[in-house]
Amino acid sequence: MRRLLSIPLLSLALVACATGSSQAQTETGMGSHFDAAAVVHTAVVHGDLTGVREPGRWLTEHSPPDLPEGTEAYVAELQKYARRAADARNLEDAAYATGRIAQACGACHREYEGGPVPVLPPAADEGPDLPTHMVRHAWAAKRMWEGLVVPSDDAWMAGAQALEGTPLQPEEALAENMEEVDYLEKRCHGLGSRAQLVTGPSARARIYGELIATCADCHELAGRDVAVVW
C-alpha cells in the first residue's frame, strides 16, 4: 500500500474562527481535531488505508479540550467512528467512517452554534486534462466535507454541483482498466447529482463516504501516487 509522502499542508485559511469566551483554548483543540480529521480524509481519497490509522487513533484518544458542558455524547460519537476508521479493514469502511466523523463534528457544532465558518473559495477551473479535472474533484469533495462539518447547506450544494459536470473521458494511460475507470468516474459525477437530492446529515454522510471510496478506488486502480492537496 502506498503511503502519503508527507502530511499535507492544511489550509485553515478558509476557516474564519468562531467567537467565544474561551476561544483561544478551544481553537487550539479544534485546530488539531480539524487537522487529524483532514488527514484521515486525505489518506482515504489517496487510497492509503495504512495512512488512516494514526490520525484515526489520535482522534479516538483526544477529546477537544474546553468544550461546553453536555457535549460528551457528541465526543463519544466522534470517537466511535474515528475508531472505526482506524480499525477499518478496507477503504470502503474507512471512507464510510470518515463521513460519520464529519457528521459528528457537524452535529455538535449545530447543537452548540459553534464551529467553523466557511468562506467559499472560487470554484476550480474546469479543464480538459486529468490534473485540472482532479483539482476540481478535490475542490468539490472539500466543499462537501465542509457541508457536513460546519454544517453548511451552501457548501454541500456547491460541492455537489461542481461534481455533477461532465465526466472525463478516461485517458489512454488508464486504458488497462478502461471499463472500470469509466464506471468509477461516472459514479463520482452521479453521486454529485444524488448529493443534491438528500438533506439529512446521515444520508449526506453516507453519500460522502461513497464518494471518497470511489476516489480511492480509482486512485488505487490507476496505481499512481496522487498528491491530494487538501
For ligand HEC, the binding residue among 4, 52, 67, 91 (CB under 6 A) is 67
151-170 positions binding ligand HEC, by CB under 6 A: none
8's grid cell: 499535507
Asked if 18 is part of the footprint of ligand HEC (rule: CB under 6 A), the reply reads yes
Residue 74 near ligand HEC by CB under 6 A: yes
User: Does the footprint of ligand HEC cover residue 181 (CB under 6 A)?
Assistant: yes
| Contacts with 226 (C-beta within 8 Å, 6 or more apart), sequence order | 46, 47, 134, 219
Judged by beta carbon, residue 114 or residue 165, the one nearer ligand HEC is: 114
| Closest to ligand HEC by CB, 159 or 203 | 159
Give the C-alpha distances (Å, rounded to integers) separating 141 from 8, 42, 99, 162, 164: 16, 10, 11, 9, 12
Count the neighbouring beta carbons within 10 Å of the beta carbon of residue 62: 15
Residue 157 burial by CB count (10 A; 0-12/13-18/19+): exposed, middle or buried? middle
Alpha carbons 217 and 101: distance in angstroms, whole number? 20
Dihedrals φ, ψ of 157, to 5°?
Answer: -65, -40
Is 27 near ligand HEC (CB under 6 A)? yes
Q: What is the binding site for ligand HEC (CB under 6 A)?
A: 15, 17-18, 20, 22-23, 26-27, 30-31, 33-34, 37, 45, 64, 67-68, 71, 74-75, 78, 101, 104-105, 108-109, 112, 114-116, 130-131, 134-135, 137-138, 141, 149, 174, 181, 184-185, 188, 211, 214-215, 218-219, 222, 224, 226-229
